[in-house]
Amino acid sequence: MRVVVLDFETTGLSAENDRVIEVGAVALDGKNCVDTFSQLIHPGDYLPYQITQITGITDEMLYDKPPAAEVMPQLAEFIADRTIIAHNAPFDKKFLDAEMNRVGLQVLNPVLCTLKLARRVMPGHSSYSLGNLAQHLGIQMERAHRALDDAKATAYLWRHMYEEINAQMTQELDTAIFEDLSNKSAKQVQKLFSI
């Protein structure tokens, strides 16, 4: 299965009003990482203080970086025809769509959410945050809330869940199977896989 694991750091929560300041992406062919994409992006305005506190990204770091209009076509080329995977995918997909629309592009690839899938495949956690799941799986996160590091952690989480599901399936896994699992209740998935 060819996927790209995607993560954005942004100036806020509104894809309509806020902008992407960093993108990180990991391309996987099956379990193998075949490429990465990482770029800081100048948002066209100063960063809110709380965003610097969360991400560690400063205005000085973004001063000479390209705007999204230059980065998004490169990202679209990197994504190509791969299924997109993200932790809390609706958030990243909103920003992907907004930034692509601003430059006249669309990315219509299927999208899978590791947060939604983890709630079904890894029951019993008090929190399904990327940091908590990474810690549970022993995944080292060098810099949480930096796009490439979060994308790498999400890729490890994805591979873990992929292997768990693959071990119990008799057919080759594809996007449709994961979409189906994501749309089932946690109890249905647990019954299906004896989790």
Contacts of 21 (CB under 8 A, 6+ apart): 9, 10, 11, 40, 41, 42, 43, 47, 51, 55, 57, 62
Catalytic sites, residue numbers: 145
- Per DSSP, the residues of the chain read -EEEEEEEEESSS-TTT--EEEEEEEEEETTEEEEEEEEE-B-SSPPPHHHHHHH---HHHHTTSPBHHHHHHHHHHHHTTPEEEETTHHHHHHHHHHHHHHTT------EEEHHHHHHHHSTT-S---HHHHHHHHT---SSTTSHHHHHHHHHHHHHHHHHHHHTT-SS---HHHHHHHHHS-HHHHHHHHT-
Tokens of 45: 């305005």
